[in-house]
Amino acid sequence: MPVSVQRVTLQPAYVLHQRAYRDSSAIVELFTPEHGRVGVVARGIKRPKSPWRGLLQPFQPLLVSWRGRGELKTLVEVEAQGMALQLSSQPVVSGFYLNELLMRLVARFDAQLTLFGCYDASLRALAAVQDDAALERVLRYFERDLLAALGYALVLDCEVETGRPLIPAQVYDYQIERGPVGLAEAEAGQGIAVHGSTLLAIHQASLSDTQSRREAKRLMRVVLARYLGPKPLFSRQLLVRPGMPK
């Protein structure tokens, strides 16, 4: 059962998603540090004179207040907490990818203090990226931190069965929900082949070469698929266009 909240005042937030509700209102999914994902009804937001219309947009840091006891709260106050983050064409699609991951994987009313900080930092990094390699690094590190925040942290520094430190040049069999296993001990078809150097680079936030970024992308896609289920990500379909790195 969700935790009832009578009133929350000036909580930091970002908009993850918005959909129409009745004639002039919208249901807005917010991501907040202390209450996780929160659904609120923004009454009258579609009216031309609504003071919230230009604020309730993705990538705009906000302070929001709401009240209510049910699954959906009623939004009562919105104000900007700084300037909206300016993301260009490729980074903006990547930003929507982060939003979609949060919508699909983060439960409502589940505090996410650390993950909120990672999300905020990732959006700011996306606003500053200069090339595809930097963009890929932002995505991989956020995926790593998201999995950790949800209790699915990857084992990235040692063999899961022996505890021995990973050898960078060695190829391991990464078994989902377990970790890296030496190929000699692995059962055929159980995991994803990945170099120790790639796992260490994910762990140390140092994905500096093409091979490690390619392997990290493949590993993260397979791991996330376990928790996302069969429904495809809409944002990922946009990111597979030519020239896009996801």
Supply the DSSP string of 104-131, one letter for each residue: HHSPBT---HHHHHHHHHHHHHHHH--S
Record the tokens describing residue 228, joined without a space.
């996302």
The closest alpha carbon to 199, from 233, 164, 228, belongs to 164
pTM: 0.91
Homologous superfamily (CATH) of 89-239 is: Recombination protein O, C-terminal domain (1.20.1440.120)
* Domain boundaries defined on the chain: 7-80, 89-239
pLDDT digit string (tens) for the chain, length 246 residues: 455 557 999 999 999 999 999 889 999 999 999 999 999 999 999 998 899 989 999 999 999 999 998 899 999 999 999 999 999 888 999 999 999 999 999 999 999 999 999 999 999 999 999 999 999 999 999 999 999 999 999 999 999 989 999 999 999 999 999 999 987 765 656 789 999 999 999 999 999 999 999 999 999 999 999 999 988 888 877 765 444 444
Asked if 92 and 235 touch (Cβ cutoff 8 Å), the reply is: no
The closest alpha carbon to 61, from 126, 119, 132, belongs to 119
Record the tokens describing residue 33, joined without a space.
């540090």
Asked if 138 and 118 touch (Cβ cutoff 8 Å), the reply is: no
CA distance 171 to 54: 50
Give residue 246's pLDDT: 44
The CATH number of the domain covering residues in 7-80: 2.40.50.140
User: Positive or negative, the Cα torsion across 62, 68, 71, 73?
Assistant: negative
CA distance 203 to 191: 19
The closest alpha carbon to 6, from 95, 81, 56, 70, belongs to 70
**Residue showing tokens 């990111």:** 239
CA distance 93 to 212: 23
Q: Kindly list the distances between the CA atom of residue 63 and the CA atoms of 17, 92, 127, 172, 242, in Å, as whole numbers in the listed order.
A: 16, 22, 20, 45, 37
Give residue 243's pLDDT: 44
